[in-house]
A and B are shown apart, each in its own frame.
Chain A
Amino acid sequence: MGADPHCGAEISVEKETGKTILNFLKHMLNQKLIDGLLMPVMVPSGDSYAWILMKDSTLVDRANPLAPVMPVQGAKALKSLTRKGKSDMTVAAVMRPCEVKAAVELSKLSQVNLDQLILVSYDCPGAIPLEMYSQDPAGKESHFRSMIEGKQFEEDSVKPVCQFCTDFSVPASDLHFALAGEEGSKPVIVSCSEKGSSLMDKMGLKTSHDLTPWENRVEEIRKAKSKKREEIYKTVQHMVEGFDNLLDTFSDCIGCHNCQSACPICYCRQCYFDSKEARPEARFLLEQAEKRGGISFPQDKILFHVGRMSHMSLSCVSCGLCSDACPVSIPVARIFSYVGSQTQKAFEYDAGKTAGEALPMKEYKMDELQEIHEMIKSAESGEVPHE
């Protein structure tokens, strides 16, 4: 997994891309290549989606593999399925690249078992913020469809983190639907792993399609998004530099910890900050208040965010679920995406890209982070380290 796309094949194409994908998957199900499918299905109220594991083909017809929103991170659905061990069924899950990446990270954290799972991704134009979608579901549905059909991958109506997502086409999955090709080109199925290739073989697909035009187009979009990423990171940088800026950034935080609850990476059943250990005694609180003239509630506002950053930013996939979940509109996703990009850079790690790779914190390398070693050495010798 995580290798460059092996090979691509043309598939039978319907009028709508969603239908094309659905037919392909249905074919896999009917041929008994898989036992079940995990896809988004619209909820009864018609203004959101839920993950449904299905084998009934009438249910498959109701699914929308290209849902405009991501109310629940797909990796969380996979976690609930395989947290206690691998499945005997072969399940294909159709998810956004960031969901695939989160699933890969969770597999490293022993929360998802990938053995019997087929991860299927697609070139993702981004997700529409949940709040905006629920105000006008019908309008947003047709808007999103036109984005897919018109191959518009640089739209501003998607979440801020999606606008600058450079991994919108990262095929860390087993199978990938290449949708972002040149104008007028048809969707192509790409295998990205041995699992994927063997499935394509079994389906008798001719894997000789030239992927170059698609790869070129993806690279072009990636460059544009990368530029946007730098611009947005510049506006975020100061928000996390120094304690005063952090205080200001998180001043409206109510301590609900919903960012953590929506985060696919934060898998702890009980966050330390919600545990009994983190709850000080009444006497201690008053003593603190007396010492300082006053203390704030909720307690540990900044410590919580900084703690969470240090725990999960190395695995942050910039899916943006935290921002959707924040009741006071703090741009948590942009902040964590920026911090994650910095921590991942320091360890030359790319969250969710490769399944076999160890998490940086689980691996000791004698030669890494030499610059910190230098800083300690110069501090010990009394020199002031330069910036």
Chain B
Amino acid sequence: MSKMLKMVSDAEKSIVGFLKYLLDSGKVSGVLTLRQINESGSVDYGLVTRSSELDRAVPLMPVMPVNAAEILSNLTPSRKPLAVVVKPCELRGFIERIKREQGSLENLLVISQTCGGVVPMKVSVKSKNKTLTADYYKAVARGEIPDHIRPTCKACEYFVPMTADITVSMIGEAVSSCRIFLNSDKAVSMAEGFDVPAEDGELDVSITESHLVKRRNERSRLFKQIESEQKGLDDLLQVFGKCIGCHACSRVCPICYCTLCDFESRHFDQNVTLFEKELDQKGGLRLPPDTLFFHLGRMSHMSFSCVGCGQCTDVCPAEIDVSAQFMRTGEMTAARFNYVPGKDVSEEIPVMVFKEEEFQEIGE
């Protein structure tokens, strides 16, 4: 039987209380959490070391200004213990980064939640995170998919964190109370001495299972929608033809960790003679070049690790639903390797292991 903390206040207050305890007792030296940074309601991630600073913390708010995986890479390996509160897909993104030697779980206490999804950036910025959240929490408490979350969140199957030390139960949980599940020995020992003693308890699978059915329906609906868009080059051009080549999708992607993307490097500068030749052959060419090539290149580099966080769609100025495209491609590539990105830190990324017997059909 695993352990849990049964709290009598709402999830946000409960977890902030727990975080304050961790800081005040010296069990951790810092806390990474979302926090409100001004009166108008802007939110960012903060590394907080003073518990009074946690008064402005909103660790469970359904927003994702940046995917925290990248921040965790910058903060680790940490010499001192840190508690970090991240969404399940941020944790999965970080696990994928660790496999690429971009971080470490050492000295981290990872706190996550059964996640109701996050609101698109434009919506959260416009509403200053005020009007939407009440409706959001009600829907999550009823075990429903909230209305205004990202399309990829609606279609996310991995809303229960897979490798967190601590899981805050949100989906199907009453708004006024909260249960915090301690999944690891580290979590149990961290909670020792807290006001609320740990008791036996298990995350209610029947609730998450029935929610999963809803998410899966949304997923097949979304994928069905884009299935026809991915059949060939012409279809892909329909989708990515309006790309402006800003590469914002790669910059906010938790998996794309390269300091300089190859597509922005000198390798992709072409001599004008090459353009002249192409112009002679084809009669016309697009400038800057390599629009579709960039997306296919990125897909081949990271799609099997795509955690479907949706950041790429949120930042696309051309309003391409990049995330849905990459999520579907990712699911298909990962499935070929029986791989679930972000599930297990000890598992190698598929392209790093050579198995003699795999893909025999291609050999044939």
Give chain A's interface residues, CB within 8 Å of chain B.
Answer: 36, 38, 41, 43-45, 47-48, 50-56, 58-59, 71-72, 76-89, 130-131, 134, 247-248, 251-252, 254-258, 261-262, 269-270, 274-276, 279-280, 282-283, 285-286, 289-290, 293-299, 324-329
Which of B42, B50, B78, B82 meets A251, CB within 8 Å? B42
Query: A52 — which chain B residues lie within 8 A by C-beta?
Result: 284-287
Give the number of residues in B that approach A within 8 Å (Cβ atoms): 73
B201 at the interface (CB under 8 A from A): no
Q: A50-B241, A285-B74, A286-B47 are in contact. Are A134 and B318 (CB under 8 A)?
A: yes
Query: B30 — which chain A residues lie within 8 A by C-beta?
Result: 286, 289-290
Which residue of A is nearest B126, CB measured? A329
Give chain B's interface residues, CB within 8 Å of chain A.
Answer: 29-30, 35, 37-38, 40, 42, 44-50, 52-53, 65-66, 71, 74-80, 82, 121-122, 125-126, 234, 237-239, 241-242, 244-248, 251-252, 259-260, 264-266, 269-273, 275-276, 279-280, 282-289, 291, 314-319
CA distance A282 to B287 in the complex (A): 40
Query: B269 — which chain A residues lie within 8 A by C-beta?
Result: 83-84
B248–A325 touching, CB < 8 Å = yes
B79–A283 touching, CB < 8 Å = yes
Which of A44, A53, A71, A275 meets B284, CB within 8 Å? A53
Query: B71 — which chain A residues lie within 8 A by C-beta?
Result: 297
Given contact pairs A87-B276, A88-B276, a sample of 18 additional A-B residue pairs in the complex whose CB atoms are under 8 Å apart: A38-B287, A47-B242, A50-B291, A77-B287, A77-B288, A85-B272, A130-B317, A134-B319, A251-B42, A261-B247, A270-B259, A275-B259, A286-B29, A293-B49, A294-B46, A297-B46, A324-B317, A327-B315
Which of B38, B247, B286 meets A51, CB within 8 Å? B286
Closest Cβ of chain B to A143, distance in Å, is 19
B288–A72 touching, CB < 8 Å = yes
CB<8 Å pairs between A and B, sample of 12: A88-B272, A88-B273, A130-B318, A251-B37, A254-B121, A256-B252, A293-B49, A294-B50, A296-B45, A298-B66, A325-B248, A326-B317
| Max chain A Cβ within 10 angstroms of own Cβ: one of B37, B50, B288 | B288
Which of B38, B76, B272 meets A87, CB within 8 Å? B272
B284–A48 touching, CB < 8 Å = no
Which residue of A is nearest B316, CB measured? A327
Which residue of A is nearest B245, CB measured? A72
Query: A41 — which chain B residues lie within 8 A by C-beta?
Result: 284
A296–B37 touching, CB < 8 Å = yes
Closest Cβ of chain B to A200, distance in Å, is 25
Query: B244 — which chain A residues lie within 8 A by C-beta?
Result: 48, 71-72, 262, 325
Closest Cβ of chain A to B239, distance in Å, is 7
CA distance A81 to B252 in the complex (A): 28
B80–A45 touching, CB < 8 Å = no
Query: A53 — which chain B residues lie within 8 A by C-beta?
Result: 275, 279, 284-287
Which residue of A is nearest B35, CB measured? A294
B42–A325 touching, CB < 8 Å = no
Query: B46 — which chain A residues lie within 8 A by C-beta?
Result: 294-297
B242–A134 touching, CB < 8 Å = yes
A286–B248 touching, CB < 8 Å = no
Name the 5 nearest CB pairs between A and B, nearest first. Answer: A56-B283, A48-B242, A293-B50, A43-B241, A80-B288
B49–A290 touching, CB < 8 Å = yes
Which of B125, B234, B266, B280 meets A328, CB within 8 Å? B125
Query: B239 — which chain A residues lie within 8 A by C-beta?
Result: 45
Query: B318 — which chain A residues lie within 8 A by C-beta?
Result: 48, 71, 130, 134
Closest Cβ of chain B to A252, distance in Å, is 5
Q: A261-B248, A279-B74, A329-B122 are in contact. Are A56 and B284 (CB under 8 A)?
A: yes
Q: A54-B283, A261-B246, A328-B122 are in contact. Are A276 and B272 (CB under 8 A)?
A: no
| Max chain A Cβ within 10 angstroms of own Cβ: one of B126, B246, B283, B285 | B246
B259–A294 touching, CB < 8 Å = no
CA distance A293 to B30 in the complex (A): 9
CA distance A147 to B230 in the complex (A): 38
CA distance A262 to B317 in the complex (A): 10
